[in-house]
Amino acid sequence: MEPGAEFVSARQLYGGSVNQFTHSFSKYDWHVRWADSTDADSFKRVVSDKTRAIFCESIANPGGVISDLEGIARVAQDAGVPLIVDNTLATPYLLKPFEWGAHIVVHSATKFLGGHGNSLAGVIVEAGTFDWAKSGKYKTMTEENPSYHGIRFFETFGDFAFCVAARALSLRDLGPCLAPMNAFLVLTGMETLPLRMRRHCDNALTVARWLESSPRVEWVNYAGLEKHPMHKMQQKYCPKGAGSVFTFGLKGGFEAGMKLVNNVRIFSHLANIGDTRSLIIHPASTTHRQMSDEARVKAGAGPEVVRLSIGIEDPKDLIADLDQAMAA
C-alpha cells in the first residue's frame, strides 16, 4: 500500500477491523471500499486501478457469514490483486483458503490456534502463488529497497517474498515481535487443534439447536443449522462444521442482551473467542460500540445480538447456564 491506494473489503467483519480500515488506515491515505462477502459481484463493482488487495473473513465475526471464497478469488485474479483471507474463526481444520484461491491467510492466533486465551499472537501465511511483478503496482516487492541494501524482495525470495518483506520491513519499523513464551504457548495449543475444533463444533450445534427452540429467542444465526440460509454454503466450504462462534437475537433487545451477559455463571463475559471456555458478549455495547447503529446492523451486531463462543465443556451445562440466565 502507498498513499492514495485502495483495497476492497467485505463489510462483514469484526468491529475492530472495521474501525481500523475506516479510521486508522485513512491517516496513511489508504482507503477501503466495502463489498458483500456473500456476493462476489459486489467486489467486482468497486475494484479500480487503485485497488491493491481484496480482504475478507472466511467466517465473519460476529455474524457467522461464510464468504464465497471461490467467487471472490476469481474477482481478485481478474483484477490482478492478492486475496487476503482472515481464517481465524474457521481455522485450517475447517477451511483452507488457499484451496479456494486465496494468496495470503491471516489468523489471530490468540483465538483457536492457541486455544486457551493465554497469549496475544498473529500469523501471516503466504501461499507463494501471487505474481508481485506482473502489474508493476507493488513497488515495495519489486523495486530496489534502499532501506534494506537495495534488495528486490520478489526477485530474491520468490514465493515467500511477502513474508520476508513483512519481517524485514514491517516488523523492523513497527515492532510487532512475538514474545518467545507466547510462541511456545501457541505452538503447544496448535497440537490439540483438531481435537478441540471437533468438540467446539459439536457443542455449538447442540447449543444452537436448543436456542432455536427457545421462546425467549427471536432468531439464531448459525450456518450449521439445517434451516439456515447459509447451510449449503457451509456444507461447501466447511463440511466438518460451522465453527463455534455464532450469534442469536434475544427478545427484549439491547437491555435484555446486556442483562443476559451479567447473569451467566459458566460462560465468561469476554471479548475473546476461540477459548476452551465458553464466552459470551453483547457486541452492540462492547466490541462494536464505536460504530453507528446502521453500521452495526450491517456488520451483524444489531442491538439484540448476543455472540457466543462455545467451548469444550459439557453442552448440558452450557444450556442450563443460558436457561437460568435468560430466566433471570
Q: pLDDT by residue for the chain (328 residues), tens digit each?
A: 999 999 999 999 887 898 899 999 999 999 999 999 999 999 999 999 999 999 999 999 877 899 999 999 999 999 999 999 999 999 999 999 999 999 999 999 999 999 999 999 999 999 999 999 999 999 999 999 999 999 999 999 999 999 999 999 999 998 888 999 999 999 999 999 999 999 999 999 999 999 999 999 999 999 999 999 999 999 999 999 999 999 999 998 888 999 999 999 999 999 899 999 999 999 888 877 777 878 777 767 788 999 999 999 999 999 999 999 999 8
**What pLDDT does residue 19 have?**
87
Residue 207: how many CB atoms within 10 A of its CB? Answer: 22
**What pLDDT does residue 297 have?**
79
**What pLDDT does residue 48 have?**
97
Cβ-Cβ contacts under 8 Å for 287 (sequence gap 6 or more): 14, 15, 16, 62, 271, 281, 301
C-alpha count within 13 angstroms, C-beta hemisphere, residue 276 = 11
Domain assignments of the chain as residue spans, ordered by start: 6-180, 193-327
Omega before 239 within 30 of 0, i.e. cis? no
Please provide the DSSP assignment of 257-291 as one string: HHHHHTT-SSSEE-S--S-SS-EEE-GGGTTTTTS
CATH fold group of domain 193-327: Aspartate Aminotransferase, domain 1 (3.90.1150)
**What pLDDT does residue 264 have?**
97
**What pLDDT does residue 214 have?**
96
Which one-letter amino acid corresponds to residue 56?
A: C
Q: Distance between CA 86 and CA 50 in Å, rounded?
A: 22
Q: How far is CA 254 from CA 71, 80, 110, 283, in A?
A: 36, 43, 28, 10
**What pLDDT does residue 241 have?**
97
Q: Are strands 305-309 and 245-250 parallel, antiparallel or unpaired?
A: antiparallel
**What pLDDT does residue 14 have?**
85
- H or E stretch covering 249: strand 245-250
Measured in whole angstroms, the distance separating CA 6 from the mean position of its chain's CA atoms is 20
Beta-bridged to residue 122, according to DSSP, are: 108
Q: Distance between CA 215 and CA 312 in Å, rounded?
A: 26
**What pLDDT does residue 140 have?**
95
Q: Distance between CA 96 and CA 37 in Å, rounded?
A: 17
Where does 6-180 sit in CATH, by number?
3.40.640.10
